[in-house]
Amino acid sequence: MEVFIGGLPAQANLSERGLRVQLQPFMKKLGIADTVFDCEKPLKKQYGFVVFLRVEDGLKFLAAYGAPKPAPAGRSSRFNTTTKVNANPASRLTILGAPVYCKQSNKTPDAITLRGLSLQNDKAGKRQAHPQQQQQQQQQQQRTDDRANSDANLSSFTLTSLSCGYYRFVRGRLTFVPEVVERQGGLAVFGKKHLTIERNDGVVIHIPHSTIQEIVWWPSGSLTLTLSTVPLFFSAKVPAKENKRSRLTALNLRHGPGRHGPAVLGMCLIYRLAVRPEQMPRKMQKLSNLGVFTISRFDVLDGAVGPDFSQSFYQLRSLLAAATAKSLLPFSLLVQLQALAQNAYLHPDTVAGLTRRLCEMHAAAAAADGRPPVSVEAMKKLFQAIDWPTPDYDDPADFEVPALVDYLLATERAIQASSLVREGLAHPGGDNVTAVHRVVVTPTRMTLHGPELENKNRVLRKYPNHQDYFIRVQFCDEDGQNLRFNGRVDFDSVYHRFKEIMVDGIQVAGRTYSFLGWSHSSLRAHSMWFAAPFIDDGGKLQTFFTITQTLGNFSTIHSPARCAARIGQAFSETPFAVPLAAHNISVVRMPDVLSADKQRTFSDGVGTVTREVAAAIWTHLPQKKKKKDFPTCFQIRYAGAKGMLSLDTRPAMAGPVIRLRPSMIKFASDETAHLEICDVASSPIPLYLNRQLIKILEDMGVPLAWFLRLQSDAVRELRFITASAYNMASFLKAQGVAQAIKLHKLLRLADQHGLDYRTEPFLRRITEAVVLRELRLLKHKARMLVPLGITLFGVMDETGFLGEGERARHVVPPRDHALRDLRNCIVFSARGARDLPSQLSGGDLDGDIFNVLWDPAVCELPTLSTFAPADYPRQAPVDIGRPVTKEDIAHFFIDFMKTDHLGAIATRHMILADQLEDGTLDADCIAVAAMHSTAVDFSKTGIPADLRQLPRANKFRPDFLSPGPITHLYSRADIELEDYVDEGDGGDRHDLDAPSYRYYASEKALGVLYRAVDEGKIWYDDVRRPVGTQKPAFRDAFLDWAGAECRKLGCYRWAHKTDEALRIRSAYEDAVLSAMHEYSEHPTLPITELEVFIGSIINRTGAQTTRQRDRSRKLRDAFERISAWITAQIRPHHRADDFAEGEKEDDENKDEDEDDSNSNSNSNSRLDTLALCWAAACLRVHDEDDVESFWLVAAAALLREIEFVKHAQAEEAAWQVEADLGALLPRLSLAA
């Protein structure tokens, strides 16, 4: 039922949320729950609507507050000929002092709104908790109640002034030194997620609770906050900008003479709030009870005079520039020193003193043995060791130069003691990766990071001796994520700052890095490469202009978007490169294959290689990419060309030749020495459904039962995985978790000996985290394996065998035909009016992958519908009529950031497709699909999608888009899932908070699939099954078994190897701790050791974001590299096999460590290695800060070494028997 409410006060300009809040007390009196009504209120109108889930509630409301609309005074009504003063019935409902009238609406309630209310009411009334969840939910409810009971005056403080500065210890006492001060008053409110400070001039400061490291308070009225990053600043509402607020890059705070306030906001993270002291103890007790903050009661001295921060930082930069010019310190060390100040770890004066001391030490070392006294690795550990200054800090001297130097020297000694062990971690070698620094640019600050390992691209490969002149630059918000679109916020000042940085460059230790280029994937991530001028090995000055000139001729490209895309080809990550001259490979051109009308290109983006070239490429692939037979399809970059190369084995195509087509060549270039490999079709990719595919298949007529069967199979598999150690071992192996150490073999050993691996806490958390990742993908992304399907690269039939619309394997070529030599790809016909790839989501053959499905339950459906492919007109790129400049490209990048709403468009398409009767076939959905196509091509055309044309959506979303339970990852504790609480209607929400969505139960396939997976039930019933208290600890049982096996093999002691094992563990711990910081999205808050080990960053409220997926891929590679190297140190006679090339893939039907059989070790060295493995596995963790996972790496190495020694001894015994028989036979012959 819907009720109309008129006469709302105009001056209040109530929002929907505001009207709902005003009505709640009246509803409560009538016993109408918050979950069964909702409000709709047009902007700037004096009327609104209340939608009731149940008719009886609406009638109850009208019976209490309903009244007819009052007639205007002085006029007669329709039925009365005489007017009586005050004859109108009095209003029975007053809102904000205004009498309002209510009546039943003449509209039918919106069906989506009613479904949303129904879902909301069901959730509130049917919270069924697993027994193990009940205590957790009770604690969660208590926290919610505490928040609810903290009424506004107990969570808000009247602000009298605001200061930003830094802490310093004066005679051992913590003291606050203000750098900028604002005497203007305001209000500070602790909401559910943010501390919001609204000044009297309308400026708003948002401080997320997660960034507050500590609150120090004193009853006289001071709150001093230690933050991990800079708050978000917003201007007052600007009438000229539709009452939007502007996102600010600095605050106009007053500061002392000579002090430059805005410049230091990014480096000063201590905020002092002077507040009125009324009820301070009670308010702070309420905040403490929430369990969200670390709160200390301490009188922090204020007003201390310290060195001017801006001047100090300017002097530090001058000092670092001089050190760079004179080569007083390695450049990476100088970058790290600047980062200590710029990232707010230490005061610039302290860093300057440290710099001078390090310069002295390096000069002395150079005059002596030449060994640098402090390395980059030692400096990385210093970042991890510097703590937050607190009132009860043990030794304030830790923040002074002498203590810092002592720490660096002690750390360096520990590093040097295990320098051989660490060599491969710090300098992995090879031509595929290199160490570079990274800069993160946010609206208010720049932070420096690294050096970190990056895959090489063409530019980095071209200048191998000048890698530190290139840096990665990431543009993002303060929390490391992309700037979030908010219709109530204007970001012009932020984009202006970003553009200035791209044009003017970044000052790092005396060098000025300026924009150079980006790859297509890094553009999507708002990341790019900057470079500083340098003199190359040939004595030539290299700058943006000279570097891009060597890449190719871009002067004829007059589109900034296209020019940037073409330059970006050189920045695509190409892990492998094949030197053509070394293999006598030549490159020729051949024509494209066109349709009869010349309008379609069947060979768009694909060329060919001969068998000799494919074999040459195979020799340059890493071991893990090599199969028995070499791949037949390669994604490449070469000079100005990009695309795919497929194998052509026809006799006429013999010889080491690469054939390129005009559609592959994007610009002219002389960079022809190497063929760069982006990817190879070494194995088929499984086909997984996602939400978009499911919706399209549903609208094509695929029945719901088919999707439910796939989902049921996936759930059954997850439950099957957790049923036994053997199943979990197979799952970890299939997921590629800890491949380098072969972790799955430990679990198989547990299965063989009846051990419960879950009694080892860290191993249990590993398995739980990996299963949780798959469970969340199934629940929140509808990711389901299709057994009768596959995903493949696409190439063209070079032979002309296939007819129009045919594909190889669908039409089987004759025996010995060239098409039979192609593997792991789908071959499309070169005939017909239009190429098939362009009809499949606008694909081409330059590296696109295609989903292939042959399940009869779908393909043979008599009711299956197909649709004519879209044919969007090709859009000409924006042409500026002249050669493109660096400033043009910078402007395009900013435009891209402003209009990069691809995710928002895709989400709107999903919402509309679910709500509209015709789904994806509705005109609105088709229009959104066209907008999506335009947005996808924006990076190449410069033509953005016009969001003003995006069809509007209501405030409801389908339930499959709702957040999942919040995941808590605690150090040395179990993973916990906590219900997500929708706090959208809280009274303390600010107009700058992210939009709050309401959800309804979708009745279409995605909604049914979403609700069919009970995340909590599967988690507690199958994943987090109780561990028997009587079962032996897995670690102890393993060591008992391993010790007995070692003694059987002749190894009786291991204690003499303890020191060597400790050195290896120290190197491993440092590498893991470094990865925890390097791969975090936050500059000061590391990810967990668990995430490093499984190679996956865990999203706390659902499936991973795109950025988290990208970082996870790099994280997995990094951990595989770390664990492979460490394993090679524990098992040194297998070093080449374990690390340099990586081990061969496991084959269940043969020895998994067949590489070990190639070892030339003798019996003594084998037993020596076995003792080292044993010692490493026996090391115990004694400190809370120690890394937990080393013992798993060591245990896996020990297990493999035991197997290897057994195998070697058995072979030796067999050889000995053979030798004895060989010696005995002649004697037997003589005797005969």
- pLDDT number for residue 1228: 63
b/e code 190-212 from CB counts within 10 Å (16+ = b): bbbbbbbbbbeeebbbbbbeebb
Angle at the Cα of 533 (from 527 to 534), degrees rounded to 5?
A: 120
CATH 3.30.310 fits domain 152-297: no
- pLDDT band at residue 429 under the 50/70/90 scheme: low
Looking at 3.40.50.360, 3.60.15.10, 3.30.70.330, 3.40.1190.10, the CATH number of the domain 2-109 comes to: 3.30.70.330
DSSP H or E segment with residue 764: helix 761-780
**Torsion 97-99-105-106 (CA) sign:** negative
Closest CA to 389 of 588, 238, 173: 173
- pLDDT band at residue 609 under the 50/70/90 scheme: very high
Residue 364 burial (C-beta neighbours within 10 Å; 0-12, 13-18, 19+)? exposed
| Residue range 641-700, pLDDT digits in tens | 999 999 999 988 888 999 999 999 988 888 888 999 988 988 888 999 999 999 999 999
- pLDDT number for residue 529: 93
- pLDDT number for residue 986: 45
Q: Over 60: is that where the pLDDT of 352 sits?
A: yes
Percent of the chain scored above 70 by pLDDT?
86
- pLDDT number for residue 289: 82
Closest CA to 1204 of 1167, 1179, 1149: 1167
Please tell me the least confidently modeled range out of 18-32, 538-552, 601-615, 618-632: 618-632
Q: Over 60: is that where the pLDDT of 467 sits?
A: yes
- pLDDT number for residue 145: 45
| Residue range 576-585, pLDDT digits in tens | 889 999 999 9
* Higher per-residue pLDDT: 1147 or 844: 844
- pLDDT number for residue 793: 93
| Residue range 173-217, pLDDT digits in tens | 899 998 888 888 899 999 888 899 999 888 999 999 989 999 999
Q: Over 60: is that where the pLDDT of 1157 sits?
A: no
Q: Over 90: is that where the pLDDT of 709 sits?
A: yes
Q: Over 90: is that where the pLDDT of 1083 sits?
A: no
| Spatial separation of the C-alpha atoms in residues 757 and 257, rounded to whole Å | 65
- pLDDT number for residue 298: 92
Residue with tokens 């929907």: 16
Please tell me the least confidently modeled range out of 28-37, 116-125, 359-368, 916-925: 116-125
Q: Over 50: is that where the pLDDT of 601 sits?
A: yes
- pLDDT number for residue 985: 44
Q: Over 50: is that where the pLDDT of 116 sits?
A: yes
Q: Over 80: is that where the pLDDT of 1045 sits?
A: yes
| Spatial separation of the C-alpha atoms in residues 268 and 254, rounded to whole Å | 15
- pLDDT number for residue 1148: 44
What are the residues whose beta carbons fall under 8 Å from the beta carbon of 999, sequence distance 6 or more? Answer: 116, 119, 120, 956, 957, 958, 959, 961, 962
| Residue range 476-486, pLDDT digits in tens | 998 888 888 77
Tokens, residue 418: 């295990």
pTM: 0.84
Q: At what angle do helices 744-752 and 1034-1048 cross, to 10 degrees?
A: 90
Tokens, residue 937: 């091509």
What is the residue-averaged pLDDT of the chain?
Answer: 84
Please give the average per-residue pLDDT across 808-833, as a whole number.
85
Q: Over 80: is that where the pLDDT of 718 sits?
A: yes
- pLDDT band at residue 126 under the 50/70/90 scheme: low
- pLDDT band at residue 1208 under the 50/70/90 scheme: confident
Please tell me the least confidently modeled range out of 650-664, 847-861, 936-950: 936-950
Name the amino acid, one letter, at 820: R
Q: Over 70: is that where the pLDDT of 1097 sits?
A: yes
Got the DSSP string for 666-709? -SB----SEEEEEEE--SPEEEEE-HHHHHHHHHHT--HHHHHH
| Spatial separation of the C-alpha atoms in residues 682 and 684, rounded to whole Å | 7
Q: Greatest CA separation found in the chain? A: 147
Residue with tokens 């068998």: 611
Per-residue HEC secondary structure of 233-299 comes to EECCCEHHHCCEEEEECCCCCECCCCCCHHHHCCCCCEEEEEECCCCHHHHHHHHHHCCCCCEEECC
- pLDDT number for residue 133: 54
Q: Over 50: is that where the pLDDT of 841 sits?
A: yes
- pLDDT number for residue 1138: 46
- pLDDT number for residue 135: 55
